Structure 1
Amino acid sequence: MSSNGSAETGSLAGSRLGVPAIVFFTVAAAAPETVVAGGAVSGFAVSGVNGIPVGYLAIALVLGLFAIGYVTMARQVENAGAFYAYIAKGLGRVSGTAAGGVALLAYNVLQVSLLGGFGVGAADLVRGLGGGAHPWWLYAGIGLAGVAVLGVLRIDINGRVLGVLLAAEVLVILVYDAAFVARPAAAGVVADTLNPAQLLTGTAGVILVIAFTGFIGFENSTVLTEEARGRRTVVIATYSSLVLIGALYGFSTWAMTVATGPERVVARAEEHSTELLFVLAAERLPAAVVTIGSALYVTSLFAAMLSFHHVCARYFFALGREGVGPRWWARTSPRTSAPTAGSATQSAIALLFVVVFAIGGWDPIVYLFFWGASVGALGVLLLVTATSLAVVGYFLRNGPGGHSRWRTLFAPAAAVVLLGLILVLTLSSFGTVLGVAPGDPAAWALPLLYLVVALGGGAWGIWLRRSRPRTYARIGMGAHPGSVDDRKQRV
């Protein structure tokens, strides 16, 4: 590599993904059955209120507002680095390098956290089926190996795998929902838990934080822009994913409260924890259907692992291609055009975490799955909020480009305010989200990691500006450097 960071890199395969495939990637990352069976039930138990269903609908509306500016900018910017590129173009290249570091941390933590849930879930499933007791890390390793192999295959093949897994888990969730509504608790089919007044209580912050966590992954559609069949494909897929996720979460969590009765859902969530969904199903459906649902809970985690693996690999690729990270991160397979170096890097990071947790004997559910998912979600929330601000900055500097002010200014500005409020609520209640006692250092130390990484990334951007100006000039430019708006990019 020369002093300015130039080197030849690979490229991703274009025009391989249509709307359905991108929806599969984004919704699979959101892990519907994992959220309904795990996140929502934990939300009932942690918050102590039954308003989680309306929380999902509220977050869907806020993210819908965010998506207006997000997909409008996606029409202008084509970069597998997504948040990194948008923030670089809207808030400056130094902010972009800071965002790149935050994105790598957030998405790798999310992907690794899922290995904890998958390993324990698979071990429990096999033991329940009479297959004997095996350590969680064995199944985590098997899942990791499967993801590593799929990660270097053609992206459209992965889309088909995710499509099958996603269709199966959504189908079983809807079967459960129908059974819950058909056989309600004594209170009957009531909509108390969908009352917006639930968001005016003192626990609204925890409700919104937990609900936001369930949507992590919907934003990943833009990471696949370079491999999509046109930018309009990404726009349609983003909106479709958001509607599907919001409707499924809102309806399914409401159906659960119908099955328990709104006044008893918290108590039953505290009693059964993440088994509540399957306990309620067992009271209404044949044992075979419940077993299938339990198996699909595990495949839901695998699908999410695979989807986030692809996101991480493409962030590594984007940063390597532009010289922000090591150039070898941008290597791709000549046969499949998959980002093989980024995929291998992510797999190595995941393997390291599994080995460390296995040797350390730490609880993989509490400290890997639950804490990891919470920390990763916080990082995505930071990126989403900054991206909304970047959308405003980008269009103010470059002009609306034929788009309305609603799309380029008012909607993203409103999203900044609302997401900023959710961010404040998240940080103020992060200890509660983690389930630690008041004053526990984890409540502030874990969020502080993002500040450290952002400052480090920003410092790296400043160094690139001074020492490698040609590399610095490419930041955020993606596969098509030299566009007019890039020349107007401020530092």
Structure 2
Amino acid sequence: MVMAAAAPLTVIGGDGLLAIAEGPGPGAPLGFLIVGLLLMLFSVGFVTMTPFVSEAGAFFSYITRGLGDRWGLGAAFVALVTYTAIQVGMYGYMGWALGDLVTSYGGPELPWWVWAITTLVLVAYLGYRNIELSSKVLGVALVLEIAVVLVTDAAILVAGGHDGISGYSFTSEAATSGPLGIAVLFAFAGFMGFEATAVFRDEARQPERTIPRATYLSVAIIGVFYAISCWAVVEAWGPANVKEVVQKSLDEGGNALLDTADVYVGSVFRDFMHVLLVTSLFACVLSFHNVITRYQFSLANKGVLPARYGQVHPTEGSPHMSSVLQSATAFLLVVVVAALGLDPLVQVFASMAGISAVGMLVLLILTSIAVPVFFLRDGVARRGRVVSTYIVPLLTAGGLCASMYLVLSNFTLVTDQSAVVSSVLAALPVAALIYGFVLPRRG
């Protein structure tokens, strides 16, 4: 579920291309390495605290244990805003990609939101059912999309790229060839959902074993995969040309990753990748739907949301009422952005990715602080584990704060909106944190 939420093909063909075009160009792969390293360090404290957190609320459960109920509730609302934003962005991307696929095969040219809502209906059905059905759908899509990206990467390396294979992307010159903060922002958006290892705790057979293992493995695999695949795109077009090539493709409504596959593997393979891009996006929105559903489910059982959203289906075993609520919310938001006439990829997807990156950083920073506070209050539990309970989490919090500065200082470049609009969008996760903090608890 975590790997599917990461949606490798979607990220390389979406976040990765935007990081190249709007960020440091050939230095974009460095953003994925930086974020992967930070999240690996973050996972040390996260995993160390896992045996002491029995709730399936992921970040907000950890923050509650460490910093108290008010901070935890605020974090829960941050998570809802964060995942809702990225899901709406993914529906925009999905609407564009599915429409592009249909028209490329001679189908009707319809507005992007028609395809987005069609997808939403199918996601609503699968989300209502049990998680094993969703996992099977996600698993098949995941294996295929990883395979096509690996084939493309290998073809680029075997062919020697555009100018010969080099490590230029990982030099200081490449890192400063454009705003690195944009690459970091899209990298964080690409890692959305990795804490789902804890969100699905109640549905795991051995959570004490599988959550730590899945967390470390997913961060390591996703981080390396993203960095290498983004670097392969740079090498395919050459460090000196890649930014211009990708930007031109975006301006013309194309996708540079598909163009790369066409050049290095062939047109038939490109068409196959095009289909898998759509299935990758579907896997992604389904995974985010399941995560949001379980956040709402946990909040309902805490008395924050109405009790009916904390019900479990008698035969499916799924939080079905929460799933219905999530589907209705997503439908409403898709209708709103469609009515505003926003471009589904450049405006909807990019802006929502920006909001989600800020929200994710807020959650990561609070969790990193919650870990040492928790063990300081209950030092007997982990006496002698100073590095994993105090030093690493605090260092991670510092690195995450630096990342937040990079993201916010480049936010208007991502949203392509005025400073006022960009400030409002960036402030939404913080507003959610404050709202949850001051909200009186029921019961």
1:14-44 superposed Cα distances (whole Å, 9 cap, x missing partner): xxxxxxxxxxx11111121111112111111
Cα distance, 1:431 vs structure 2: 0.9
1:338-394 superposed Cα distances (whole Å, 9 cap, x missing partner): 011111111000111222233443322234222112212211111111111111111
SS of the equivalent of 2:419 reads coil
Distance 1:310 1:359 in 2: 26
2:403 to 411, 418, 422: 422
1:448 to 427, 431, 438: 427
1:408 matched to 2:386? no
Distance 1:362 1:270 in 2: 19
Map of 1:134 onto structure 2:
110
Say whether the 8 Å CA contact 1:125–1:295 is kept in structure 2: yes
SS of the equivalent of 1:401 reads helix
Q: CA 1:400/1:203 → structure 2, altered by over 3 Å: closer, same or farther?
A: farther
Cα distance, 1:196 vs structure 2: 5.4
Distance 2:18 2:436 in 1: 34
1:98 matched to 2:74? yes
Cα distance, 1:280 vs structure 2: 1.8
Map of 1:264 onto structure 2:
241
Cα distance, 1:236 vs structure 2: 0.5
1:364 to 344, 353, 377: 344
Q: How high is the TM-score relative to the length of structure 2?
A: 0.95
Q: CA 1:44/1:400 → structure 2, altered by over 3 Å: closer, same or farther?
A: farther
Q: How high is the TM-score relative to the length of structure 1?
A: 0.86
Map of 2:296 onto structure 1:
316
SS of the equivalent of 1:218 reads coil
Map of 2:371 onto structure 1:
391
Map of 2:436 onto structure 1:
457
Normalized per residue, which structure has more helix? 2
1:154-200 superposed Cα distances (whole Å, 9 cap, x missing partner): 21221111110000100000111111112234521111112356446
1:377-388 matched pairs, under 5 angstroms: 377-388=357-368
Distance 2:234 2:337 in 1: 36
Letter in 2 for 1:60: G
Cα distance, 1:299 vs structure 2: 1.0
Q: CA 1:215/1:341 → structure 2, altered by over 3 Å: closer, same or farther?
A: same
Distance 1:400 1:412 in 2: 18
2:210 to 233, 240, 250: 233
Say whether the 8 Å CA contact 2:368–2:397 is kept in structure 1: yes
4+ residue runs over 6 A deviation: none
Distance 2:238 2:302 in 1: 54
Q: CA 1:201/1:413 → structure 2, altered by over 3 Å: closer, same or farther?
A: farther
Letter in 1 for 2:324: A
Say whether the 8 Å CA contact 1:184–1:260 is kept in structure 2: no
1:347 to 313, 324, 327: 327
Letter in 2 for 1:160: K
Say whether the 8 Å CA contact 1:54–1:196 is kept in structure 2: no
Distance 1:400 1:342 in 2: 38
Distance 1:49 1:405 in 2: 40
SS of the equivalent of 2:264 reads coil
1:433 to 406, 409, 414: 414
Map of 1:307 onto structure 2:
287
Say whether the 8 Å CA contact 2:359–2:429 is kept in structure 1: yes
Letter in 2 for 1:41: L
Cα distance, 1:284 vs structure 2: 2.2
Letter in 2 for 1:233: T
Cα distance, 1:319 vs structure 2: 0.5
Moved more, 189-198 or 54-63: 189-198
1:290 to 270, 279, 284: 270
Letter in 2 for 1:444: S
Gaps of 5+ in 2: none
Distance 1:401 1:201 in 2: 47
Letter in 1 for 2:69: R
Distance 2:267 2:151 in 1: 13
Distance 1:347 1:167 in 2: 26
Say whether the 8 Å CA contact 1:52–1:211 is kept in structure 2: no
Cα distance, 1:452 vs structure 2: 2.3
Distance 2:11 2:22 in 1: 15
1:165 matched to 2:144? no
1:252 to 229, 232, 246: 229
Q: CA 1:55/1:367 → structure 2, altered by over 3 Å: closer, same or farther?
A: closer
Distance 1:70 1:352 in 2: 34
Letter in 1 for 2:137: V
1:190-243 superposed Cα distances (whole Å, 9 cap, x missing partner): 111123564466733233222222212212211011111222101101111111
Letter in 2 for 1:331: Q
1:230-269 superposed Cα distances (whole Å, 9 cap, x missing partner): 2210110111111111111111111112211122111211
Root-mean-square deviation (CA, aligned residues, Å) is 1.7
Map of 1:31 onto structure 2:
7
Distance 1:238 1:411 in 2: 16
Moved more, 257-266 or 338-347: 257-266
Map of 1:7 onto structure 2:
none
Q: CA 1:185/1:387 → structure 2, altered by over 3 Å: closer, same or farther?
A: same
Distance 2:2 2:434 in 1: 29
SS of the equivalent of 1:75 reads helix
Letter in 1 for 2:428: L
1:321-340 superposed Cα distances (whole Å, 9 cap, x missing partner): 11122211101101121011
1:122 to 98, 104, 115: 98
Say whether the 8 Å CA contact 1:147–1:309 is kept in structure 2: yes
SS of the equivalent of 2:187 reads helix
Say whether the 8 Å CA contact 1:90–1:390 is kept in structure 2: yes
1:243 to 191, 197, 220: 220
SS of the equivalent of 1:424 reads helix
Give the paired residue count. 438
1:51 matched to 2:27? yes
